[in-house]
Amino acid sequence: MIDLHEMVRRLYPLPRSLTGDGVRETLRQIARDIPLEIHEVPSGTPVLDWEVPLEWTIRKATIRTLSGDKIVDWADNNLHVVGYSQPVNRLVSRAELARHVHTLPDLPDAIPYRTGYYAQSWGFCLSHSHWSSMTDEIYRVYIDSDLVSGSMSYGEAFFPGNSEDEIVVTAHVCHPSLANDNLSGIAVATALAARRNLSGPGRLGLRILFLPGTVGAITWLAHNEFKLDRIKHGLVLTCIGDTGPFHYKQSRSNAPIDRAVAHVLNNGEHEFEIRSFEPYGYDERQFCSPGFDLPFGCLMRAVHGNFREYHTSLDDCAFVTARALTESYQVVTRLVDLLDANRKLLRQDGRGEPQLGRRGLYRALAGQADAGGATQMDLLWVLNLADGNHSLLDMAERAKIPFARLDAAAVIAEQHGLIREVD
């Protein structure tokens, strides 16, 4: 398995934004672990009501005193410069500079993360204590950047299943050095893809998307409308590396994935909260937008905007933990396994309860129980509800039994010719 925390640490320094070489290098490193197709969409390409933005490149940025002392350097922390800042190289008064500096007085030692994708301006982000110590009347500001017609990059890994139906999992790749709000989702999504790459096809295909936020999702939707009907379940991953309880934001239209996530969390060992859909947050709002209304939810631990480290330099590699990342990965894999195994079943041995003893099913169940698998009662629930109308998740909810146990019981019943899958 991929070392999740090592991956977070490795990708942390890269200067990601909506576009540019920071995103490309991030995708190239992801491609070291999984088969990844990297797409380049030219600037200016119309995508629904948007268009792909200009490509932003930044090379250097500093603030110096008149004597030449460097007191702010983008090379020290890539949050120091407002994303998509235009080039500047001139002397400015402290009063003018103040109009271009962002700080957090309530978190005086934290550097904020700010962007100005469409602002046509420039700016610096500093800790409030640092800014308060800058008392000179004149400074030289320098940002070596450019905005040119280039392209926007995104990554896609697809693992076909035994049907055309798909599970889609996405993570955003547009944030710079933010470990939880960006890299935790990237790491878990990459590990999920690596697992499927090793295990081979499931019942459903699995598509993993690494997209710049908002415009990346809109671009993917605009270019893939012909196959959106294949998406049966979708999940956005973000902020899943901290040690807090899980939070799941439901889809717009009460999709099956909402029940599946609730079942996995209910049968886990972690605290959690289920939240209703709202049209604000991450890319679930794009996939759930009118005209698409795809079955997408969002899985988080910390909720965006509700933790003090959010969009600040405090969201670093120490804020996320190896244990929390592993826990989140386990929750996601259980969910994907459930979605992949969920199916409707039909008894094909006639009416009444089948004779289990002569089929050796008590011995089979005993072997399963030794391994923590199905019990006799699990099998009886499957045999009773296998009427062609109940899915395994329906059965698990009705019986209040973990899905994995009923799935194990169903496999045994299928092997003995007692039930079969129906569309």
Q: Are 53 and 43 in contact (CB under 8 A)?
A: yes
Reduce the DSSP state of residue 367 to 3 states and report it. helix
Angle between helices 361-370 and 376-385 (to 10 degrees): 120
pLDDT, residue 405, reads: 93
- In order, the DSSP letters of 7-54 are HHHHHTTS---SSSHHHHHHHHHHTTTS--EEEEEETT-EETTEEPPP
Task: List domains and CATH numbers for the chain.
Answer: 4-53+151-341 (3.40.630.10), 59-148 (3.50.30.90), 344-422 (1.10.10.10)
Whole-number mean pLDDT of the chain?
94
- Using pLDDT thresholds of 50, 70 and 90, give the confidence band for residue 423: confident
- Using pLDDT thresholds of 50, 70 and 90, give the confidence band for residue 97: very high
pLDDT digits (tens, 9 = 90+) for 288-315: 999 999 999 999 999 999 999 999 999 9
User: φ, ψ for residue 376 (rounded to 5)?
Assistant: -60, -40
Q: What is the DSSP letter of 181?
A: I
Q: Which of 290, 294, 193, 175 is nearest to 238 (CA)?
A: 175
Q: Which of 1-10, 97-106, 291-300, 351-360 has the lowest mean pLDDT?
A: 351-360
pLDDT digits (tens, 9 = 90+) for 120-137: 899 999 999 999 999 999
d(CA 181, CA 303): 10
pLDDT, residue 372, reads: 45
- The number of CA neighbours under 13 Å toward the Cβ of 355 is 3
pLDDT digits (tens, 9 = 90+) for 384-418: 999 999 999 999 999 999 999 999 999 989 988 99
pLDDT digits (tens, 9 = 90+) for 330-362: 999 999 999 999 999 999 877 788 877 777 776
Q: Residue 315 corresponds to which tokens in the numbers above?
A: 């969201």
- The number of CA neighbours under 13 Å toward the Cβ of 143 is 22
pLDDT, residue 371, reads: 37
